[in-house]
Each structure stands twice: as C-alpha cells, then as structure tokens.
C-alpha cells in the first residue's frame, strides 16, 4: 500500500516535471484579414518562440509558461496577450500596420556583412532562376479576392450606399472584432496547368476549372482567362518585376547596391535549411523598390522565402501598400519554383469621402515537371479554357484547394452573392461597364457604342445615332453588328453593318463582310484612329477638315497561323465623294475629276513574339507584349478595273516597342515607314496626322497642323520617355508632390514624286483657287522636341513642345503647350 502510494506520488511528480503547454493560433492583418507569414511569436521574457508559417499559423510547446505571448513583425505594431495556466490554449492575433521608418545602419570599418551575402546570391541568380530550365510545367491553384475597404461614415451614410451597408451589417463581420469591415465585390478560384518553354521563350496556361462570382460579372469565360496564374508572375530572380504595369527592382538584381541597403538580422532555421535573415530597404524611399525581409540559404545562397512591401513613400498614385510573400522550393534540376505566393494591393481613397480598394491574390504550385518541353504549336494560344471550364462541383474544389476556405472567405462568397441582387449595386456596376466598354448588354444584344449616340459638327449639325451588336449569348460563331446615324443639317443617313463568322477560336480565324456609308476626314479616318477613341471623338466635333462621303464594301479574312503571327487579307471597294473643293488630273483622259472609286486587294501580317492575347467575348484582345516588339507589315494593290479608277500599290511597316531602362524609367518608340507606287490623288497618299487641339496625344505630331504634310514615301520615328521618379525625386518639393518628368522626340522624313504633285491643280475649272497639300523635303526632317511633367494632382499632365523645322510654313508655331488627363499609378 505504501509502495503503491509512493509510485503514485512519483508518477504525479514526473508528470508535473515534464508537463508540456501547447499554445497555438493564427496571426493576421487587422485591416485586410490576410495571414501574416514569418511573424515572430515568443513567450515574454524567454527565448522560447517560433515564426508563423505561410498561412500565419503557429504552434508553441513549452515546459513553463510566462505571463503573456508577444507577436511582432516588421511594419506592424507589436501585440501581446495574456496567457492562461491551461495545458492547451488558442490565441489569435490581429496586427495593425505601422508607418515605420528604418534607421540608418552605420558600420565603423569594413564592409557591411550583408553585402557579401547579397553579392553571392546575385552572382548565382542564373543557377536558381526557373527561366534557365529548358521547360517546366506545374499545376496551380489561384485565388483572387477584391474588396471595397475604408468605408468611412460619410460613405456609409450616403443614400445610395445605405442598402448595401445594411446587408454588410447583417452578415458576420469579415475579419473579427479587432479588424475593419470590408465590402467584398469579387471572388474567384482557378485550377490550371501552366507550361513554360525556353528557346524560344513561350508560355501557356490551360484553365481546367474556374469559379467566378462578382458584382457586375456577366461573362465568366472572359474573366476566367485573367484569373489564372499567368498574370501572377513574381520572379525575384529577374532584374525587374512588373507589378501594376510598373517595373520594380529585385533586391538581388544586377546593380543591387545602387538601389538598396541591407542589414543582416539573424541566422535562423527555416524548415530544415539554415538561412541568413536580411532586412532590405531602398536607398531612396521614392524609388520603385522593396522594403522587408528575405531569407537566403547559407549553403548555396538561394532564396528560401521573401516578405516584401512596396512602401507608401514610393512614387506611385493611389497605392497605399503592396505586399508580396513567397516561399520557394528547389526543382529536381536545381532552379527554384515558388510553392506559394501571396500578394496584397491596397488602393487608398481618392478623397476622404470615398472608399478604398483591396485586392488579394494567392497562388499555390505543385506537381512540377521539368525539362519535358511541349512542341511549339502547343503554345499557339497563351490562355486556353477547357470546354467544360464552367462546370464545377463542391467535391472538386474541396480536393483542389491547398487549404479549406476560411470562415471569412465563406462569408465573402455569401456577401458577393447577396450584393449582386441589390438593385442599386446592379445599376452602378452595369453603368460603369457601359461607360468603360461603350456597350450595354441586353440579353443576347449589346447596345452601343455610346460615344456615337450624339455628335455636333458644321456639316451635319446635330447628329443622333444608334447601334447594336450580338454577343456570345446569341452565338459564339456568328457576330452581327450594325449602326445608323442621321444629321439634321445635311439630312443624310449614315450607316455601317457587318457579318462575321468565327471559324476557329483556338487559332483565331474569322471571315467578315461589311458595308458602310460615313463622313470621313482626310488624314483623320475612323479606321486609323479607333485605338485613340478620345482623339477620334474630339476630331469629329466642331468644324470638319477636308470632309468627304466614304462608301466602303468589302470582305476580310484573318487567321493566327502560330503564336503571335496573325495573317490578314481581303478586298475593299470604296467611293470618295468630297464635301470640299477638290479636283485631280485623271491619268488617262487628262481631265480633272472631283471623285473617284477604288478597288483594293489587301494583305498584312502582325507578329508579337510574346504578346498576350485573350478572347474577350467574340473579340480578340491584346494585353501587350512582355519583352519583344510588335511588328506589322501591310500591302495593298489598287486596280484600274473591277470598278476601280486607280492603279497603285501601297507598302507599309510599323513597329512598337516598350523598353525598360531601369533607373531612367520606361521608354517607348514607334517606327512607321511606307511607300505608295503609282500616280494617285493625294487622299490616297499618306496624310500625316497633326494636332491643332490643346490636348496631348501619342497618335499625332503635336506641333503639326492638320493635313499640313502629305507623302508618298516616308519614314518616322517617335520616342517618348517616362522618367518615373528619376531626376524629380531628388528635388525636395517635387519629391513630395510625386511629379514625374517626361520627354518626347518625334521626327519625320518624307517626299512626294513629281507625277503626284502634277495631278493636283491649284485652281478649279472655274479658276477659283484650290487648297492643295504640303510637302516635306526628303533631306530635311520634320522635328519636334517635347518635355513636361505628369502626375500633377495625380491626374494631369502638361507637355511643352518646340517645333524645330519648317517654321516658315503658314500657320506654323514654334512653341506649343499641350495638356491631358490620365489615370496612372
């Protein structure tokens, strides 16, 4: 009995001596509800602690408890919570961001020890860059959430918003009692296969399943193409990372010492890897660079994980914070692949009485296969939807998610579904889409475009118009489009109509018949200005310059034969009827005529090696190229026969390229060259686009008058430079205002052959003087230089242009001031 009691007491003593306390929980951002990875969690006044995992979770086992648990992380206020004397307890933390300023680190002698680590990591970039692989493919899960946040009381009390916020209040708060309320408007999940191939560098994403819900979202197929991982590429082994169409320098890029300072904080184990933990921050706070923490493995100097923020002081508009967290894993061949990436973009309020925007992106990658390249034709379409992409089941998503949806995310789905049914939300969301796209969907028909509903000019007076087109609900193979307008001064109807058959959506192939009757202007034709809708609309108000009635009928065919290579061909029949005094000398009869007809065969190619194309409804839309220029070559042959009066040929070449210049910002240049063979009236020639308005446009020469110069052979180069924060960031006042310096250089060479000069009379048959065209001297280029400032009050831009040549021309002015408004980050 005594012995049994002894053993019982001994057992209890041992149990007390080896008792384990378990503390677990999650650390999240109080404003966004996002998990905070790599945060420090430690028992107060002890050395017992751990860092949170990528999802923000932690778990600490301890023999002895302290009175509280402390959580800290760079860029957040430290928080502590009291511990209970319990064997197991759960404590969740919500940290609030702090506007921290990093101290300057001064080293008395020798080199900063962090520099050698960064130097070696930078030298070995190619060893670990996934682009050095011959090929790779992976299975990706991508989750996107977009919320409205910073719901001020003034915003909440607006009459149009009350019905929305009352719904928000009725649903469980989306973070918790320490967080802030958000209004979710979009949520998507996507499972895809991503493929990459080197030499040539090609990318493709196959969207296998997608689930999209959002306010104003009507076409899930279009949205699904931009919710995959192809648009969530964050490779810190590149020198520059493109985020929100801005280029940010990597902390381990070539020339890292020019942009960054570093501090070696600690040496720690991350999983089973011993890592250097380094703090990075920009040398100039306005530069497009990162602040935060990176972990570099000690054995090979590869990146293990990153937690980086683009600070508020960076020269960006409206962006309050961008945060990127990433874990990297080695492939069987050595280079690293991100296993998990989380990005948060917080857009600030434009005014105190408006709301902000919060966008969250999460990508998890697994099932990686390396160096097994797909054939080149496989990459023909950059983003491909599987036929059953819209069919999804609950079991599929439960098995595909790396982690289950949180309670907050389930509440977000409930909220978005509820918001979509509120009339005021539908009104505003559909109204915004109507303004942005120009069309209002009504069932299977789209009404628009709205800019053509009303116009006023000297020929037509008040002009009213109306247009319709079918959408994908009507058919994914046929597109019918039509428009009509009526001028109350000229009492003439104008119209356009087309019928398009989509033969192949994978290798984009269409055939189209069309017909139109419209008032055009020489050098300001609608077809050549469609990409600059604001300038086009402005040019058709007020006084029309050299107007004429144009009738066009034709057939057009296009096909993408391989990735980036689009071939176009067709026939066009047109009629030119001038609405201003015009004559030309007819070549065969030597008689003067004031109208003509043309019959043209057309062919052209367009090539963008890495251009990203998506299929938007029943249209092919370009999202631009990543690195290489976009090139177009076009040819046209006019026939004196088949209804045509003129025999000629046209050949043209166009190239556009965006180049990253690092510290100096971003440059863009355009080359345009062409030649017209044959004797033709000047409306057939190249009538160079000038700009007599006060508004700046990239489509024209901004110091040239309308129709001032015409050429039958020409070459132009236009270059514009956005210096971002370079130069002005070093001036204290400019740094605070975040103004940005811009520059332009535009030059043009051209000439007209004698036979095309001779066929333009200076007087009409009655002897009245006629306006002719201006000509360039091939040896003297037209040249204009411009400079200016953008980002004035975040929206406005002012450019100052100097015209350097042809100053003796009638109406020429040596100095011009142009203004414009733009929404840029």
Q: What is the pLDDT of residues 1-60, one digit of tens each?
A: 434 444 443 443 444 444 578 899 999 888 777 788 888 899 988 888 888 888 888 988
Which one is predicted more confidently, 269 or 671? 671
pLDDT, tens only, 65-97: 888 999 988 778 899 999 988 889 999 999 888
What's the average model confidence in pLDDT over 313-328? 83
Closest among 158, 154, 222 to 188, alpha carbons compared: 222
Which one is predicted more confidently, 220 or 232? 232
Question: Of 40-54, 290-304, 312-326, which one has max mean pLDDT?
Answer: 290-304
Which one is predicted more confidently, 340 or 318? 340
Which one is predicted more confidently, 5 or 813? 813
| 784, 758 Cβ separation under 8 angstroms | no
Task: Return the CATH number of 2-95, one of 3.90.650.10, 2.60.40.1120, 3.40.50.300, 3.40.50.1240.
Answer: 2.60.40.1120
Residue 176 pLDDT level (bands cut at 50, 70, 90): very low
Spell out where 611-732 has E strands: 611-616, 619-625, 630-638, 648-660, 666-677, 686-687, 710-711, 713-722
| 546, 502 Cβ separation under 8 angstroms | no
Closest among 711, 600, 685 to 647, alpha carbons compared: 600
Q: Is 607 left (phi over 0), alpha (psi -120 to 50) or beta?
A: beta
What's the average model confidence in pLDDT over 656-677? 89
pLDDT at site 474: 92
Residue 350 pLDDT > 80, yes or no?
A: no
| 279, 263 Cβ separation under 8 angstroms | yes
pLDDT, tens only, 625-648: 878 899 999 999 999 988 899 999
pLDDT at site 369: 92
pLDDT, tens only, 441-485: 888 999 988 878 998 999 999 999 999 999 888 998 999 999 999
Alpha-carbon gap, residue 670 to 661, rounded angstroms: 16
| 724, 735 Cβ separation under 8 angstroms | no
Q: Which residue blocks in 485-641 are alpha helix, DSSP H?
A: 526-529, 533-539
Residue 230 pLDDT level (bands cut at 50, 70, 90): low
> What are the C-alpha distances in Å from 239 to residues 132, 250, 661, 662?
14, 6, 11, 9
pLDDT at site 15: 42
Residue 107 pLDDT level (bands cut at 50, 70, 90): very low
Alpha-carbon gap, residue 23 to 26, rounded angstroms: 10
Which region among 55-59, 660-664, 714-718 has the lowest average model confidence (pLDDT)?
Answer: 660-664
pLDDT, tens only, 388-447: 544 456 678 878 888 888 777 777 777 777 776 666 666 666 776 777 677 888 889 999
User: What residues does each domain of the chain span?
Assistant: 2-95, 116-426, 687-825
Spatial neighbors of 213 by CB under 8 A, at least 6 apart, are 186, 187, 188, 413, 416, 417, 420
pLDDT at site 62: 85
Alpha-carbon gap, residue 119 to 257, rounded angstroms: 9
**Chain-wide mean pLDDT for the chain?**
83
Residue 133 pLDDT level (bands cut at 50, 70, 90): very high
pLDDT at site 56: 87
Residue 156 pLDDT > 70, yes or no?
A: no
Which one is predicted more confidently, 104 or 661? 661
Residue 745 pLDDT > 70, yes or no?
A: yes
| 581, 770 Cβ separation under 8 angstroms | yes
Q: Is the peptide bond before 634 cis (omega within 30 degrees of 0)?
A: no
Integer-rounded Cα radius of gyration of the chain: 32
pLDDT at site 607: 94
Alpha-carbon gap, residue 10 to 762, rounded angstroms: 120
Tokens representing 631? 């090139």
Residue 680 main-chain phi, psi, to 5 deg = -140, 160
What's the average model confidence in pLDDT over 376-381? 82
Closest among 660, 24, 29 to 325, alpha carbons compared: 29
Neighbour tally for 591: CB within 10 Å: 11
Please report how many Cα atoms fall inside a 13 Å half-sphere around the Cα of residue 649, on the Cβ side.
4
Which one is predicted more confidently, 617 or 353? 617
């Amino acid at each position: 009995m005594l012995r049994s009691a002894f053993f019982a007491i001994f057992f209890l003593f041992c149990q007390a001596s080896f008792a384990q306390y378990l503390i677990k929980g999650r650390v999240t951002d109080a404003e966004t509800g996002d998990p905070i990875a790599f945060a420090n969690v430690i028992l107060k006044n002890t050395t017992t602690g751990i860092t949170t995992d990528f999802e923000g979770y932690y778990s600490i086992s301890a023999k002895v408890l302290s009175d509280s648990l402390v959580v800290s992380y760079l860029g957040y206020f430290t928080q502590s919570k009291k511990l209970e004397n319990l064997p197991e307890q759960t404590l969740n933390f919500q940290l609030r961001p702090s506007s921290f300023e990093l101290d300057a680190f001064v080293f008395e002698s020798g080199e900063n020890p962090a520099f050698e680590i960064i130097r070696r990591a930078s030298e070995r970039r190619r060893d670990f860059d996934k682009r050095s692989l011959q090929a790779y493919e992976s299975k990706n899960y991508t989750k996107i959430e977009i919320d409205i946040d910073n719901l001020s009381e003034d915003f909440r009390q607006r009459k149009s918003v009350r019905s929305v916020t009352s719904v928000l209040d009725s649903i469980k708060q989306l973070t918790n009692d320490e967080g802030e309320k958000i209004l979710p408007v979009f949520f998507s999940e996507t499972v895809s296969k991503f493929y990459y191939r080197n030499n040539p560098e090609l990318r493709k994403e196959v969207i296998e399943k997608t689930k999209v819900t959002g306010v104003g979202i009507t076409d899930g197929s279009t949205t699904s193409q931009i919710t995959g991982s192809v648009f969530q590429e964050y490779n810190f082994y590149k020198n520059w990372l493109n985020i929100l169409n801005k280029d940010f320098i990597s902390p381990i890029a070539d020339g890292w010492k020019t942009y960054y300072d570093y501090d070696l904080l600690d040496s720690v184990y991350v999983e089973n890897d011993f890592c250097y933990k380094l703090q990075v921050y920009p040398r100039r706070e306005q530069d497009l660079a990162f602040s935060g923490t990176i972990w570099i493995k000690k054995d090979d100097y590869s990146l293990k994980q990153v937690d980086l923020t683009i600070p508020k002081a960076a020269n960006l508009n409206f962006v309050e914070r961008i945060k990127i967290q990433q874990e990297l894993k080695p492939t069987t061949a050595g280079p690293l692949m991100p296993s998990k990436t989380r990005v948060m973009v917080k857009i600030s309020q434009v005014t105190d009485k408006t709301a902000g925007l919060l966008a969250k992106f999460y990508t998890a990658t697994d099932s990686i296969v390396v160096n097994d390249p797909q054939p080149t034709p496989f990459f023909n379409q950059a983003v491909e939807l599987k036929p059953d992409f819209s069919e999804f089941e609950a079991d599929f998503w439960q098995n595909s998610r790396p982690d289950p949806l949180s309670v907050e995310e389930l509440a977000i789905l409930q909220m978005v579904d509820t918001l979509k049914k509120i009339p005021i939300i539908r009104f505003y969301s559909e109204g915004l889409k109507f303004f942005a796209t120009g069309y209002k969907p009504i069932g299977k028909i789209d009404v628009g475009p709205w800019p053509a509903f009303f116009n006023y000019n000297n020929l037509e007076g008040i002009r009213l118009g109306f247009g319709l087109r079918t959408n994908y609900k009507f058919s994914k193979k046929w597109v019918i489009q039509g428009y009509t307008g009526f001028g109350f001064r000229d009492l003439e109807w104008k119209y356009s109509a087309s019928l398009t058959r989509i033969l192949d959506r994978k290798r984009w192939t269409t055939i189209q018949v069309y017909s139109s009757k419209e008032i055009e202007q020489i050098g300001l034709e609608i077809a050549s200005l469609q990409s600059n809708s604001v300038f086009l609309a402005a040019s058709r108000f007020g006084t029309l310059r050299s107007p004429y009635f144009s009738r066009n009928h034709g057939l057009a065919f296009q096909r993408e034969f391989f990735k980036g290579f689009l071939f176009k061909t067709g026939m066009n029949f047109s009629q030119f009827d001038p609405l201003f005094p015009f004559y030309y000398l007819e070549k065969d009869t030597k008689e003067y005529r004031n109208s003509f007809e043309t019959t043209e065969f057309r062919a052209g190619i367009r090539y963008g090696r890495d251009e990203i194309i998506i299929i938007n409804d029943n249209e092919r839309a370009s999202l631009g190229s990543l690195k290489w220029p976009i090139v177009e070559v076009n040819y046209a042959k006019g026939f004196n026969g088949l209804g045509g009066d003129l025999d000629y040929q046209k050949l043209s070449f166009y190239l556009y390229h965006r180049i990253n210049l690092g510290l100096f910002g971003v440059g863009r240049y355009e080359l345009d060259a062409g030649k017209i063979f044959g004797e033709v009236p000047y409306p057939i020639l190249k009538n160079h686009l000038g700009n007599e308005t006060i508004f700046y446009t990239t489509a024209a020469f901004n110091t040239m008058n309308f129709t001032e110069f015409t050429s039958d052979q020409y070459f132009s180069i236009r270059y514009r430079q956005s210096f971002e924060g370079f130069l002005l960031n070093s001036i204290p006042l400019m740094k605070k205002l975040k103004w940005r310096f811009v520059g332009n250089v535009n030059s043009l060479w051209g000439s007209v052959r004698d036979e095309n000069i001779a066929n333009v009379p200076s007087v009409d048959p009655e002897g009245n003087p006629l306006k002719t065209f201006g000509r360039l001297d091939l040896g003297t280029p037209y040249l204009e230089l411009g400079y200016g400032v953008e980002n004035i009050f975040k929206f406005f831009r002012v450019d100052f242009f100097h015209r350097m040549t042809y100053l003796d021309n009638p109406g020429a002015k040596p100095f011009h001031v142009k203004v414009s408004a733009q929404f840029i980050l």
